[in-house]
């Protein structure tokens, strides 16, 4: 049986592949695992049936037999652990790939999300202009550090791994800001990842959902 994931019925990202189901779709495509998608509306995400699966009323979730999971990073790691293709064989290298998943979601992502949320929700607030340079600098600090670590390598640690997948998902949220243009190696890193056929399939599938709903 194929696992079932949840995704927005009407994604606010307008099909740009920025919602978190993208990470899960991409991981499943990378390992060649077919899956079903249950689309949920905002009210459905806050209803008891969904809260029983995702206590914070969010997407994505992952259900496979009697296994029920939430948190995109954990889901991606679970998929990577159970299928070949997204983790190296050596135990230490696998541990380092897990480290990069955590680095993506808990070190690089927070300033990016804060910067994005401020631009989306606080433009009319009196503090917006004063706070913006601080938020931008916090993102740039992480990008500087990440670019330094990546150097001239294609991927963060050896072959493409679940760590790269998660990092690219996080970096893609900066797309509209244009900030990545100042970091050619990171821009190329994201482009390299986006060129992967599995990314393309995942992207096309989530875009098809957005198009079907917006044309209905
Ligand atoms: N830590 C969780 C995980 O990684 O799984 C975070 C999940 C999460 O943030 N889910 C969001 C959600 O369900 C959707 S992805 N939000 C509804 C709610 O909290 O009520 C975040 C997201 C949303 C929209 C855009 N966008 O429009 O560009 C990008 C990313």
What CATH number does the domain containing 157 carry?
1.20.1050.10
Same domain flag for 98 and 189: yes
Q: 172: Cβ below 6 Å to ligand 1?
A: no
pLDDT of residue 92: 98
In a shared domain, residues 179 and 96: yes
Is the minimum distance from the CB of 12 to ligand 1 under 6 angstroms? yes
Whether the link from the prior residue into 60 is cis, omega within 30° of 0, is: yes
d(CA 51, CA 57): 5
Distances in Å between the Cα of 51 and the Cα atoms of 17, 45, 56, 68 are 23, 7, 7, 12
Helix (H) or strand (E) holding 70: strand 67-70
15, 19, 39: residue to mutate for ligand 1 pocket, most atoms within 8 A of CB: 19
Query: Does 46 share its domain with 100?
Result: no
Query: How far is Cα 83 from Cα 138, in angstroms, rounded to an integer?
Result: 36
Q: What pLDDT sits at residue 216? A: 80
How many domains, in total, are found in the chain? Answer: 2
Cα of 18 vs centre of ligand 1, distance in Å, is 8
**164 Cα: distance to centroid of ligand 1 (angstroms):** 19
**Residues 6+ away with beta carbon under 8 Å from 63:** 3, 4, 5, 53, 69
How many angstroms is it from 92 CA to the middle of ligand 1? 31
Q: Which atom of ligand 1 is nearest to the CA of 20?
A: 15
Same structural domain, 204 and 191: no
Give 88-115 as a DSSP string: -SSHHHHHHHHHHHHIIIIIIHHHHHHH
Dist. CA 64–CA 52, nearest whole Å: 15
Residue 62: the pLDDT is 98
**Residue 1: its pLDDT value, please?**
87
Q: Ligand 1 pocket, 122 CB below 6 A? A: no
User: In terms of domains, do 56 and 113 share one?
Assistant: no
Per-residue pLDDT at 213: 87
Tokens of 11: 């994604």
Cβ neighbourhood burial of 128 (10 Å; 0-12, 13-18, 19+): middle
Atom of ligand 1 minimally distant from the CA of 116: 28
Structure tokens at 12: 């606010």
What is the residue with the minimal CA distance to atom 15 of ligand 1?
A: 19
Residue 18 Cβ inside 6 Å of ligand 1? The answer reads: yes
Residues whose CB is less than 8 angstroms from the CB of residue 94 and which lie 6 or more positions away in sequence, other chains included: 87, 88
Residue owning the nearest CA to atom 28 of ligand 1: 13
pLDDT digit of tens for each residue in the chain (216 aa)?
A: 899 999 999 999 999 999 999 999 999 999 999 999 999 999 999 999 999 999 999 999 999 999 999 999 999 999 999 999 999 999 999 999 999 999 999 999 999 999 999 988 999 999 999 999 999 999 999 999 999 999 999 999 999 999 999 999 999 999 989 999 999 999 999 999 999 999 999 999 999 999 998 888
Domain that holds residue 175: 91-196
């Amino acid at each position: 049986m194929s696992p079932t994931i949840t995704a927005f019925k009407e994604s606010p990202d307008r099909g740009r592949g920025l919602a978190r189901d993208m990470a899960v779709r991409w991981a499943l495509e990378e390992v060649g695992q077919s899956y079903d998608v249950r689309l949920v509306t905002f009210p459905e995400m806050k209803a008891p049936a969904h809260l029983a699966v995702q206590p914070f009323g969010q997407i994505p979730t992952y259900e496979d037999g009697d296994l029920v999971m939430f948190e995109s990073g954990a889901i991606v790691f679970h998929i990577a652990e159970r299928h070949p293709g997204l983790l190296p064989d050596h135990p230490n290298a696998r541990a380092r790939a897990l480290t990069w998943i955590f680095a993506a979601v808990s070190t690089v992502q927070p300033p990016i999300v804060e910067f994005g949320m401020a631009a989306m929700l606080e433009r009319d607030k009196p503090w917006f202009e004063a706070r913006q340079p601080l938020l931008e600098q916090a993102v740039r600090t992480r990008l500087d550090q990440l670019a330094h670590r990546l150097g001239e390598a294609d991927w963060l640690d050896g072959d493409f791994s679940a760590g790269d997948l998660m990092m690219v998902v996080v970096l893609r949220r900066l797309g509209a800001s244009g900030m990545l243009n100042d970091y050619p190696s990171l821009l190329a890193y994201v482009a390299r990842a986006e060129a992967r056929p599995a990314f393309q399939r995942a992207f096309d599938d989530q875009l098809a959902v957005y198009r079907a709903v917006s044309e209905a």
